[in-house]
A and B are shown apart, each in its own frame.
Chain A
């Protein structure tokens, strides 16, 4: 309904020789290459400070990339109208801001509305449809601060979807929420996955990495490994990405990985 048609041959996201950073650290990430096909669910793994958030910010244009290229649905990101949906780890949002859940989701459509135009009933219907997709329709008249952490995150997913994008970047969608909220977010992402939305999920959680994702992208300043989970998720590559700060235990057929994020 809301996703745009893409040419089947076009990768959803193609990143070539990307280098980006911020003030002080010019090359926080460098030589990043990967291609994501439409509808894939990719796990972005790497230790703290590996540049996961930096990669996301470069992809959506929050920080400039001074080298390489990013193409979205086959178009260069700078000319592209296919905006990428980005669900950040909101840290500097004022939750007492006087907006309702519906208002926040409508913010995803501001660019689509165009200059000087006001939302029409059609746009409000689209917003309600997005809230329905993330299971937040009952909360649409609430002030944004009256929601729990998990609910806020689902609203931000709806805001990204309201951009009419088919690519979502989710930065630590499960961090800092309780088990119930995590399940609800998982259900929403599962639904979107089946609707064909391409997803890149940055996560600390290595426990289901091999089963949940179509592909894994192991990042530490640059791409350590990228591809099918069983190729990427090996003791060697993990040790390279996480340095010595990881323990890998084999117990029968199961592999247990313990990453020391604070080491």
Chain B
């Protein structure tokens, strides 16, 4: 990756003044040199992949109001990871089994509205998380291991991990492309999906499983505790900018990638935990876009007031406005 990027040194050096100001070094030193280390190169690949896939699937999490589910699912993976860790099996496989089991379990408990979704999530989430902590607490290296899983360790990503992450990314993106229009109908109006006789239960579980796969693939980058931010923040930012879901998905994917890259560099140069740096980067981007959107809204309101007090559309009920789109 280092050699490849070296070809674009001229372009990258355009950032010289900015980086000189922020870090006191030129673009080559700040951006390219870290990638000479193999652990940084792998970390960069992992952050980009995870940002991309979480950004995409996160849009469904945001428009369907599933933030709580996403957070719960991330935590529920703990027992699977813990058992795999103790048995020295693949952490990834362990997490994936626990994640999918939780997703299907919550899906099963809430089918036909037997139990309200947030209640079912709360029960399963707390139970699984406690189980995970119970298992890890039997180990001697308790706190170190737990910290690893809770906060991630992107600098420790191995080549095999990257391989699995790539495959997960391909599977998640391909599945969304294949079922895109059905998933949009389900997300916007689940009743309509049933009226036109779509397999709504299958689609609902499919989405839950895709979220589980994304979370497990992202675990090493940001860890259980911060996973939610990767799902929600880029998507929430994108939603402020555009009024159609597929554009929102493209922008969220882009923002996820950008947050991953900037966050990782911040982590490297400022010696901050990588997961936290990535999440904080996406939070800052969100706050900036939110402020811009508010300003734009204000401007629109002032303009509308002076020239055309009654818009033809009548009541505007978008709280965040469809500004800038």
Q: Does B309 contact A (CB under 8 A)?
A: no
Residues from chain A with Cβ under 8 Å of B322 in the complex: 143, 146
Q: Which of A99-107, A196-204, A224-232, A254-262 contacts B (4 or more CB under 8 A)?
A: A99-107
Distance of A75 from chain B, by nearest CB (Å)? 13
Given contacts A62-B195, A83-B196, contact A94 B243 (CB under 8 A): no
* CB proximity to B under 8 Å, residues A96-150: 96-100, 103-104, 106-108, 110-111, 113, 115-116, 118-119, 139, 142-143, 145-149
Give the number of residues in A that approach B within 8 Å (Cβ atoms). 40
Tell me whether A107 and B188 are in contact in the complex, defined as CB-CB below 8 angstroms, given that A61-B195, A100-B243, A148-B313 are known contacts.
yes
Q: Does B7 contact A (CB under 8 A)?
A: no
> Known interface pairs A98-B243, A113-B181, A159-B192. Does A148 touch B197 (Cβ–Cβ under 8 Å)?
no
Q: A99-B245, A110-B196 are in contact. Are A146 and B317 (CB under 8 A)?
A: yes
On whether A98 and B181 interact (CB within 8 A), knowing A145-B318, A148-B313, the answer reads no
Residue in B closest to A149 when the chains form the complex, CB atoms: B315
* Nearest B residue (CB) for A116: B178
The verdict on A221 contacting chain B, using a C-beta distance below 8 Å, is no
Q: Across the interface, do B315 and A98 meet the contact criterion of CB distance under 8 Å? A: no
Q: Which residues of B contact A113 (CB under 8 A)?
A: 181
> Which of B65, B197, B315, B319 is within 8 Å of A61, CB to CB?
B197
Task: Contact check, A62 vs B194: say whether CB atoms are below 8 A apart.
Answer: yes
Contact with A along B177-204 (1 / 0, CB 8 A): 0100110110111011011111000000
State whether A99 touches B188 (Cβ < 8 A): yes
Closest to A91 in B: B191
Q: Which of B182, B184, B188, B320 contacts A93 (CB 8 A)?
A: B188
A95 interfacial contact with B, CB 8 Å: yes
B239 within 8 A of A: yes
Number of chain B interface residues as a range: 35 or more
User: Does B242 make an interface contact (CB < 8 A)?
Assistant: yes
Whether the Cβ atoms of B244 and A95 lie closer than 8 Å is: no
Say yes or no: B320 contacts A96, CB within 8 Å. Answer: yes
Nearest B residue (CB) for A178: B314
Determine if A5 is an interface residue (Cβ-Cβ < 8 Å). Answer: no
Known contacts A86-B195, A110-B185, A147-B313: A100-B318 contact under CB 8 Å? no
Q: Is the interface of A mostly helix, strand, loop or mixed?
A: loop
Kindly state whether residue A211 has any CB partner on chain B within 8 Å.
no
Cβ of A163 within 8 Å of any chain B Cβ, yes or no, is yes
What CA separation (Å) do A102 and B120 show in the bound complex? 36
Pairwise interchain contact A94-B195, C-beta atoms closer than 8 A: no
Inter-chain contact A104/B194, CB cutoff 8 Å: no
B191→A146 contact, CB < 8 A? no
Please encode chain A, from 142 to 164, with 1 for each CB lying within 8 Å of some chain B CB and 0 for all others.
Answer: 11011111010000000100010
How far does the alpha carbon of A86 sit from the alpha carbon of B196 in the complex, in Å?
9
Taken residue by residue from 302 to 315, chain B's Cβ proximity to chain A (1 for < 8 Å, 0 otherwise) reads as 00000000000111
> Which residues of A pack against B, CB within 8 Å?
23, 60-62, 83-84, 86, 88, 90, 93-100, 103-104, 106-108, 110-111, 113, 115-116, 118-119, 139, 142-143, 145-149, 151, 159, 163
Contacts A61-B197, A146-B322, A148-B314 known; list 20 others, CB within 8 Å.
Answer: A23-B112, A61-B194, A62-B191, A95-B317, A96-B318, A97-B245, A98-B244, A99-B184, A99-B243, A99-B244, A99-B245, A100-B243, A107-B192, A115-B178, A116-B178, A119-B181, A142-B313, A143-B322, A146-B313, A163-B196
A-B residue pairs in contact (CB < 8 Å), sample of 20: A23-B112, A23-B113, A61-B195, A62-B191, A62-B195, A94-B188, A96-B320, A97-B188, A99-B244, A100-B243, A103-B244, A106-B181, A107-B188, A110-B181, A110-B182, A111-B198, A116-B178, A118-B181, A149-B315, A163-B196
